[in-house]
């Protein structure tokens, strides 16, 4: 009998209806074991006869079939009933088990694979196998898998269920299941294990850590710092650093002490640098050179570890983005209650630090001289924040650049950055600050300041986090702008600022200087898609001339004529840049803008705590020759809702009010309409054109009360 046959075989139970096994050849090549096929019609006794091999007599015969040798059962096998002579199934099982245990040369199979599709056969054989050979793994590998077969295998306690019709190769799962069974090996088996094709490295190591045998895969041999021949006779302490060697020796001791398979992960220096390995340590029953020993099976898992690290990194990034999004949502909710800008900024800094992802955060604002000043902060990096306040924020390059460019700036390795000032670098060491991100706080073209966040980990701010902080900066900017507008809206006393602008590169300045006309702003605003529109009335020039000049001006993207008179017209302009929009972004309300013969006058209202210098500088960026000529505190008249209602009613004629009431209660303004214009006109006994004239004049009077800012 060959050495392969004396090793523990794999029993493959096949269906008689199939001409040959689909798994036998591949399974034999993958494991280098004796794979014996047994027909299911032979029953459980045939499985046992094939499983229990009499080593002394050699009970099997070899039959040549083509180029491979198949091992069959010698002689016909009768299929016994599931019960004994007296109908007792346990009696038969006990007898079978005793026969196996008493066989002097018996070799238990390493596994039994059922290549069957019949649930009844699978259930019967599995039940008897588990009762007779409880330590032998059983694998159900049907050709046509189904939920029913999977359920039968599960309830019969099969070790694994591997349907073979799937796209993936079932051999790998079968071999993995067999190899993963924690059964110790004898001395005759460890030579076979070393002879098999292993992932990377295989050793026999004695109980004191000495290498007795070694085999290294060719690919791994190229990277190994010690050859397989040179490692023999050395110890774990000779090959690995003391901490690693001690850990590996503990694994050897544990495997021998428990007589079970152990696993360990460790690092090893190779020609390709430090790589990660995973080893399965299998105890050997018989002694080698008078000592206990283990088979050490190692494989390189460096790529797997890298993938796991990447996955964890992506999970951390996702968690970070979720927390940033939570902060953004909280900021938006805070807008409803925050009384001032200070409360918003303080809340943002505290929430970022409370997330445990960052060690500190702080906010700087622009000052009138163009520099940055510290406003508020939070976190445990006290020394770093103190140095920032002492040195000035301009020494923190990411912050200064973010304020200048309006773009996100990061420093992912502060302790290795030679451009960081020595005082800040020392503070970073003390507070363990390793990364920083600076996000400008902006709304449209207005920059209110910079949010800086510090982290105690290298490369803390990925591209996704940068996108999250960019959104956070924009959200804070929008919130600050909204608070400024709210303060101005509800203020009883406001500050009125009057600016004089001597010349500019905009259409109104060029038109008034060229034609001696006067341009007055009616309204300016921005649509939802970010387009800036202005409605301007020009006195002293006809509409055709204005349109011709507008189409030729670089600052105007589109223009159309709204009203045209002999000496006056109104146009709608879409601009690429607007000083009016800049003022609005800084919390200022435009009261009046007029340009006459190249000189402009701009009247705006701001809240009492507004930064007047900031507003003046923002306007100077658009119009170079800008001068603040007057600053006045103005008390706003307080009007009740009843007073406003009476003012509107006083502006309407009886016909206009009647038309509005009939249209409103008749559903004319609903969608879809409940009444047509003709029906409203018939109810008033007037023509439809007359009805629409009354309706439009009445609506214009009502809307004018809200939209005409200078109406008192």
CATH number at residue 421: 3.30.450.40
Average pLDDT of span 373-395: 82
Q: Are residues 161 and 191 in the same domain?
A: no
- Among the ranges 77-86, 184-193, 265-274, 636-645, which has the highest mean pLDDT value? 265-274
- Does residue 420 share a domain with residue 344? yes
User: What value does the mean pLDDT take over residues 204-215?
Assistant: 89
Question: Is residue 106 predicted with pLDDT exceeding 70?
Answer: no
- What is the number of domains present in the chain? 5
| Residue 72 pLDDT greater than 50, yes or no | no
Domain boundary among 418, 451, 486: 486
**Full domain range(s) for residue 224:** 187-300
- The first and second tokens of residue 504, run together, are 């500019």
What pLDDT does 571 receive?
A: 93
Query: What pLDDT score was predicted for residue 150?
Result: 76
- Please report whether residue 97 resides in a domain: yes
Q: What is the model's pLDDT at position 19?
A: 60
Together in a domain, 497 and 518: yes
Return the minimum-mean-pLDDT range out of 270-284, 483-497, 674-688: 483-497
| CATH code of 655's domain | 1.10.10.10
In a domain, 308, yes or no: no
pLDDT band, very low/low/confident/very high, at 69 (cuts 50, 70, 90): very low
Same domain, 446 and 537: no
Average pLDDT over residues 679-690: 92
Q: What is the pTM of this model?
A: 0.48
Q: Is residue 254 part of a domain?
A: yes
For the chain, the average pLDDT equals 78
- Clarify whether residues 478 and 497 are in a common domain: no
Is the domain of 368 the same as that of 344?
A: yes
Amino acid 102: pLDDT: 39
- Which of 239, 268, 300 represents a domain boundary (last residue)? 300
Tell me what percent of the residues of the chain surpass a pLDDT of 90. 17
Flag whether 316 is in a domain.
no
Q: Which of 338-352, 536-550, 637-651 has the highest mean pLDDT?
A: 536-550
Which residue among 179, 206, 240 closes a domain? 179
Which tops the pLDDT comparison, 270 or 327?
A: 270
Q: Is the pLDDT of residue 284 over 50?
A: yes
The closest alpha carbon to 450, from 351, 391, 371, belongs to 371
State whether 339 and 463 are in the same domain: yes
Q: Is residue 81 part of a domain?
A: yes
Residue 465 token pair: 């986090």
Coarse DSSP helix, strand, coil percentages of the chain, rounded to the nearest 5 percent: 45, 25, 30
SS3 277: strand
User: Position of tokens 């001696």?
Assistant: 516
At 199 the pLDDT is 52
Tell me which residue of 107, 113, 115, 122 sits closest to 178, measured CA to CA.
Answer: 113
3-state SS, one letter per residue, for 647-702: HHHHHCCHHHHHHHHHHHHCCCCCCCCCCCHHHHHHHHCCCHHHHHHHHHHHHHHH
Question: If you average pLDDT over residues 500-516, what whole number do you get?
Answer: 88
**Window from 72-76, 236-240, 318-322, 695-699 with minimum mean pLDDT:** 72-76
C-alpha 4/C-alpha 490 separation (Å) is: 93
Token pair listed for 351: 């929430």
Residues 354 and 371 in one domain: yes
User: Is residue 620 scored above 70 in pLDDT?
Assistant: yes
CA-to-CA distance for 644 and 550, rounded, in angstroms? 39
In a domain? residue 357: yes
Residue 208 sits in a domain whose CATH number is 3.30.450.20
pLDDT band at 60 (very low <50, low <70, confident <90, very high): very low
**Contact yes or no for 205/296 (Cβ under 8 A):** yes
Per the domain annotation, does 306 fall within a domain?
no
The answer on 43 and 15 residing in a single domain is: yes
Out of 150-154, 184-188, 345-349, 590-594, pick the least confident.
184-188
- Whether residue 314 is contained in a domain is answered as no
Element (H, E) at 71: strand 68-72
- Whole-number pLDDT of residue 6: 43
Greater model confidence, 299 or 186:
299
Give the DSSP letter string of 169-233.
-HHHHHHHHHHTS---B-HHHHHHHHHS--SSEEEEEETTSBEEEEEE-HHHHHH-SS-HHHHTT
Specify the long-range contacts of residues 519-522, CB closer than 8 Å, at least 24 apart: 519/594, 519/595, 519/596, 520/592, 520/593, 520/594, 521/580, 521/590, 521/592, 521/593, 521/594, 522/570
Q: Cα(426)–Cα(528) distance, rounded to whole angstroms?
A: 48
Do residue 279 and residue 371 come from a single domain? Answer: no
Is 315 a residue whose pLDDT tops 50?
A: yes
Q: What is the CATH number of the domain that holds 147?
A: 3.40.50.2300
pLDDT score of 59: 37
Task: Check whether the bond before 672 is cis (ω within 30° of 0).
Answer: yes
Q: Are 128 and 169 found together in one domain?
A: yes
**Distance between CA atoms of 218 and 58, rounded to whole angstroms?**
37
Q: Tokens 């898998």: give the residue.
A: 145
144 and 52 inside one domain? yes
d(CA 456, CA 57): 72
Which segment of 488-492, 562-566, 567-571, 649-653 scores lowest on mean pLDDT?
488-492
Instruction: Please name every residue paired with 592 in a beta bridge, in sequence order, or none if there are none.
Output: 603
């Amino acid at each position: 009998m060959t050495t392969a046959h004396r090793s523990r075989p794999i029993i493959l139970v096949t269906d008689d209806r199939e001409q040959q096994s689909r798994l036998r050849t591949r399974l034999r090549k993958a494991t280098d074991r004796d794979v014996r096929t047994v027909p299911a019609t032979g029953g459980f006794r045939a499985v046992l006869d094939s499983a229990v091999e009499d080593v002394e007599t050699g009970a099997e015969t070899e039959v040549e079939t083509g180029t491979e040798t198949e091992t069959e059962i010698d002689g016909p096998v009768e299929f016994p009933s599931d019960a004994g002579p007296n109908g007792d199934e346990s009696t038969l099982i006990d007898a079978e088990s005793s026969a196996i245990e008493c066989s002097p040369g018996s070799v238990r199979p390493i596994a039994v694979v059922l290549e069957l599709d019949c649930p009844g056969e699978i259930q019967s054989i599995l039940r008897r196998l588990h009762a007779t050979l409880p330590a032998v793994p059983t694998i159900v590998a049907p050709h046509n898998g189904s939920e029913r077969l999977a359920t039968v295998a599960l309830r019969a306690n099969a070790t694994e269920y591997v349907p073979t019709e799937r796209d993936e190769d079932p051999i790998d799962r079968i071999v993995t299941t067999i190899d993963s069974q924690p059964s110790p090996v004898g001395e005759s088996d460890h030579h076979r294990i070393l002879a098999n094709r292993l992932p990377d490295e295989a050793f026999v190591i004695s109980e004191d850590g000495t290498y007795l045998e070694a085999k290294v895969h060719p690919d791994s041999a190229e990277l190994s710092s010690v050859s397989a021949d040179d490692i023999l006779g050395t110890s774990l302490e000779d090959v690995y650093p003391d901490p690693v060697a001690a850990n590996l020796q503990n694994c050897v001791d544990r495997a021998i002490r428990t007589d079970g398979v152990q696993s360990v992960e460790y690092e090893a220096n190779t020609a390709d640098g430090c790589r990660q390995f995973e080893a399965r340590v299998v105890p050997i029953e018989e002694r080698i050179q008078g000592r206990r020993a283990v088979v050490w099976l190692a494989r390189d898992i460096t790529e797997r570890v890298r993938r796991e690290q990447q996955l964890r990194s992506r999970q951390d990034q996702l968690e970070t983005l979720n927390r940033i999004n939570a902060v953004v949502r909280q900021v938006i909710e805070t807008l409803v209650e925050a009384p001032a800008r200070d409360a918003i900024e303080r809340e943002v800094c505290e929430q970022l630090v409370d997330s445990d992802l960052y060690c500190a955060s702080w906010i700087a604002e622009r000052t009138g001289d163009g520099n940055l000043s510290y406003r508020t902060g939070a976190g445990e990096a006290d020394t770093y924040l103190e140095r920032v306040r002492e040195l000035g924020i301009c020494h923190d390059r990411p912050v200064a650049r973010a304020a200048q460019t309006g773009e996100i700036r990061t420093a992912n390795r502060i302790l290795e950055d030679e451009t960081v000032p020595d005082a800040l670098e020392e503070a970073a060491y003390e507070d363990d600050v390793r990364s920083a991100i600076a996000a400008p706080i902006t709304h449209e073209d207005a920059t209110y300041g910079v949010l800086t966040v510090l982290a105690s980990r290298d490369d803390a701010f990925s591209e996704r986090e940068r996108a999250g902080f960019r959104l956070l900066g924009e959200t804070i900017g929008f919130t600050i702008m909204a608070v400024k507008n709210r303060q101005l809206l509800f203020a009883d006393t406001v500050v009125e600022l009057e600016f004089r602008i001597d010349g500019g590169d905009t259409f109104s300045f060029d038109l008034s200087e060229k034609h001696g006309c006067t341009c007055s702003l009616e309204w300016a605003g921005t649509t939802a898609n970010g387009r800036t529109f202005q409605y301007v009335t020009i006195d002293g020039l006809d509409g055709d001339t204005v349109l011709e000049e507008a189409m030729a001006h670089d600052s105007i993207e589109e223009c159309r004529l709204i009203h045209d008179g002999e000496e006056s017209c109104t146009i709608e302009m879409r601009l690429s840049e607007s000083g009016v929009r800049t003022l609005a972004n800084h919390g200022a309300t435009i009261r009046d803008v007029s340009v006459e013969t190249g000189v402009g006058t701009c009247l705006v209202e701001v809240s009492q705590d507004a930064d007047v210098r900031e507003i003046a500088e923002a306007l100077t960026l658009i119009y170079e020759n800008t001068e603040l000529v007057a600053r006045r505190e103005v008390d706003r008249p307080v009007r009740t809702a009843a007073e406003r209602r009476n003012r509107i009613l006083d502006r309407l004629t009886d016909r206009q009010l009647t038309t509005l009431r009939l249209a409103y209660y008749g559903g004319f303004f609903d969608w879809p309409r409940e009444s047509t214009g003709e029906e409203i006109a018939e109810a008033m006994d007037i023509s439809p054109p007359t009805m629409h004239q009354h309706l439009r004049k009445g609506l214009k009077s009502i809307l004018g009360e809200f939209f005409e800012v200078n109406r008192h």
